[in-house]
Structure 1
Amino acid sequence: MTENEIAKIVFETSLELHRNYGPGMFESVYEEILSYELAKKSLYIERQKPIPVIHEEIKMEVGFRADLIVENKVIVELKSVEELAKVHYKQVITYLKLTNYKLGLLINFNVDLLKDGFHRIVNGL
């Protein structure tokens, strides 16, 4: 399955979740339900996966935690905020560089229309 095929499934599943519950819930609630629904579609999901950061001779076993990693190919960063800040986009770009993944999805559920809160961020895709 390609990154784009995964992104389409994540978008469609997120859209259904947003239609059912709308904006205003905690990020952790969206994460729990989204990961459950993606797993029901036979996608391999890792939640809050620790990603190491290596700098010269030091290795931080938990440099950050990815909200979701889907099929070992796509990082999904979930938000439920009034407005995304530039740092949220930069955060996903950094995650992509550290993992060498090609596609990240930044999803803000706290919007009226989910299409306005769904962002694809690429790293050489």
Structure 2
Amino acid sequence: MPITCSVELSPIGQNSFHQIDNCIMGHAFDIHNEIGRFLDEKIYQSELAERVTRSNLDAMREVSLHASHKSFSKDYYIDLLVNRSSIYELKTADSLNGHHHKQTIHYLLLANLRHGKIINFRPGSVESKFVSTTLDLNKRRSYSIDQRNWINIDDFGEILKNTLCSLLDDWGTCLEANLYREALLHLLKFPDGGLVPVEIHIEGRLSGRQRMCLLTPTTAWHLSAIHKHFQSYENHILRLLQLTRLKAIHWINLNNLNVTLKTLRK
């Protein structure tokens, strides 16, 4: 499998998860009341795992998820996996935010599990958020591609498109955009490509250099995962293009199961 876990996993339904969660949250509140809110994340992780294990539940820390495709690989680590079915991400932040939610969804999708929770020990009272998904690997592989406005300026554009499709066929869509970006940068090892500083000219002045993903000295690619305001986003890519000596930018947008490939030119 292209995405593997260091232990065998067993997806469960929402009712079963909430039965487990009642026990986990009871321990989380007890820990917060007994040792306070100013300890490091790893200490909360260790203490919660210990107490969950005493409750006759299986608790494993730092369980690895391994994403690979051809010569690329990257590892992620689940803070706490309970009964091989429920993911818990522990935080010591001022408050939970969208990044924490996206990270937990990412882990659920990588593990092909359904339910998890984020627990934040830093606030005055324990903060938590239930995270769930109905997407499994088969659904995430059932994506559609709109490539009506994609132009293969040269062979490199075709290679970019084929490499992306190979990744999506392997991993499916809906994972964190940065994982696809890192994989493409690794796999597209062209002599003049990669993450390269590009000159930015404003009103004829060299204003600086910005790192961009290049295919060739005159063609870049840009990957996003936006779900709305597509025209505004495109307009801003075009503004960036106009400030460079590049001829085109291949824009890849991963909008859940809808993938759009578009070539923007001067």
TM-score (norm 2): 0.43
Q: Is it true that 1:84 corresponds to 2:84 in the alignment?
A: no
- Is the contact between residue 52 and residue 64 of structure 1 (CA under 8 Å) also seen in structure 2? yes
> What's 2:129 paired with?
119
Q: Relative to structure 2, which stretch is displaced further, 77-86 or 41-50?
A: 77-86
Q: Which runs of 4+ in 1 moved over 3 A?
A: none
**Residue aligned with 2:134, SS:** coil
> What's 2:42 paired with?
28
Q: 1:59 to 1:71 in 2, by over 3 A?
A: farther
Distance in 2, matches of 1:19 and 1:103, equals 26
- Is the contact between residue 104 and residue 120 of structure 1 (CA under 8 Å) also seen in structure 2? yes
With a CA cutoff of 8 Å and minimum separation of 6, indicate the structure with the bigger relative contact order.
1
Listed one character per residue, the Cα deviations across residues 10-64 of structure 1 (whole Å, up to 9, x for unaligned) are 1111011111122111001100100000000011111101111134x3563x520
Residue 113 of structure 1 aligns to which amino acid in structure 2? S
Aligned-pair CA distance for 1:84: 2.3
> What's 1:10 paired with?
24
- Structure 2 unaligned segments of length 5 or more: list them: 1-11, 136-266
**Residue aligned with 2:62, SS:** strand
> What's 2:181 paired with?
none
Correspondences of 1:34-45 after superposition (within 5 Å): 34-45=48-59
Residue 102 of structure 2 aligns to which amino acid in structure 1? K
Q: Is it true that 1:108 corresponds to 2:152 in the alignment?
A: no
Distance in 2, matches of 1:75 and 1:94, equals 11
Listed one character per residue, the Cα deviations across residues 45-96 of structure 1 (whole Å, up to 9, x for unaligned) are 11101111134x3563x52000010001110100111222311110000000
Listed one character per residue, the Cα deviations across residues 78-120 of structure 1 (whole Å, up to 9, x for unaligned) are 0111222311110000000111111111011001111xx1111
Of Structure 1 and Structure 2, which has the larger fraction of its residues in helix? 1
Query: Number of paired residues?
Result: 121
Q: 1:59 to 1:100 in 2, by over 3 A?
A: farther
Q: Is it true that 1:99 corresponds to 2:111 in the alignment?
A: yes
**Residue aligned with 1:113, SS:** coil
Aligned-pair CA distance for 1:8: 1.1
> What's 2:264 paired with?
none
Distance in 1, matches of 2:72 and 2:30, equals 39
Distance in 1, matches of 2:121 and 2:98, equals 17
- Is the contact between residue 52 and residue 59 of structure 1 (CA under 8 Å) also seen in structure 2? no
> What's 1:46 paired with?
60
- Structure 1 unaligned segments of length 5 or more: list them: none
TM-score (norm 1): 0.89
**Residue aligned with 1:24, SS:** coil
Percent identity of equivalent pairs: 25
Residue 99 of structure 2 aligns to which amino acid in structure 1? V
> What's 1:73 paired with?
85
User: Quick check: which has more Rg, 1 or 2?
Assistant: 2
Residue 83 of structure 1 aligns to which amino acid in structure 2? S
**Residue aligned with 1:68, SS:** strand
